[in-house]
Amino acid sequence: MAPKKEVKEKQVKGDEAEEMVLNYMKETNRPYANADVSANLKNRVPKAAAVKVLATLAEKGQLTVKPYGKQLIYLYNQSLLDVLAPEELASLDEEIKETKSELEEKRKELKNLQSELASKEALPKTKDLAKGIEKVKADNEITLKALAPFRSTSDGEAAVNPLSAEETKKIDMEFTKWRKEWVDRRKIYKELLGMLTDGGQIDNVQSFEEDQGITPDDDDAKEVEQGEFVKVPLPIRSSNNKKTMNMGVQKVMNGPTKRNYSDVSPLSQEDVSGGKKKKAKKA
């Protein structure tokens, strides 16, 4: 079906055009150029007629006119406007306050609706639900496989006995204990290495560590440090650090030797190896 043609407004002339322009300027009470008036009236008053009508109304004192660049700006004569009584002004002020209050409420309502819309848009789309379900099923399958050894066998006993709360607590305490020792030794070593480097005794840190038999933390140790076991940093011991550091400096200055943990800590080599075993078991 063909779209309907817009019906053009009938153009007016003479006194009718003058009355239409005057009423429009009074109702809007805003400054306009002649082209604006003609366009706003949807060309019911042609541009040429609008120029003459506006000039005539200005001569009669019903409009005021001021030049602005190359065009003339017309405004309804403000002295002809009705002056409101104090009661009417007070009523308008009250109406303005109520309108502002309603506007604020609408803004809050709009904000809540926008927030609700954002939360709903963040939900999975219907077309993506199938993929989400498949992912949940895959995760569930992995969990079931992990739980399988702990479930009852044909004889009614679990294939693997889970740790009790006491055993878990004991292992956690052991891990915490040996991790503290490791953190202390690492701090002492870094401080010692910094002193030797600043003093000029070590030119190449990598060569020095190779000569002393020192290896950096491997990927497993880094993974443990970033994992669930050590979310909260543990306190580092401060006792005998200075004395131990001086002993280490003296050892290194006497010549490169095989690195031994006893150089920087009063713990025995047996304790250190035991700590490594405990840590490996926990990890």
Is the pLDDT score of 78 beyond 50?
yes
Is the pLDDT score of 266 beyond 80?
no
Domain end call among 65, 99, 120? 120
Average pLDDT over residues 31-51: 90
199 and 268 in a common domain: yes
93 and 74 in a common domain: no
Average pLDDT over residues 9-19: 83
**pLDDT value at residue 139:** 94
**pLDDT value at residue 260:** 44
**pLDDT value at residue 274:** 44
Instruction: Please state, for a pLDDT cut of 90, what percent of the chain lies above it.
Output: 35
Q: What residues does 67 pair with on adjacent strands?
A: 72
Does the model's pTM come out above 0.95?
no
257 and 180 in a common domain: yes
More confident residue, 244 or 207: 207
Average pLDDT over residues 40-58: 90
**Average pLDDT, whole number, for the chain?**
79
Give the pLDDT band (50/70/90) at residue 247.
low
108 within some domain: yes
187 and 256 in a common domain: yes
Q: Please provide the distance, in angstroms rounded to a whole number, between the alpha carbons at the two ends of the chain.
A: 76
Specify whether the CB–CB gap between 34 and 74 falls below 8 A. Answer: yes
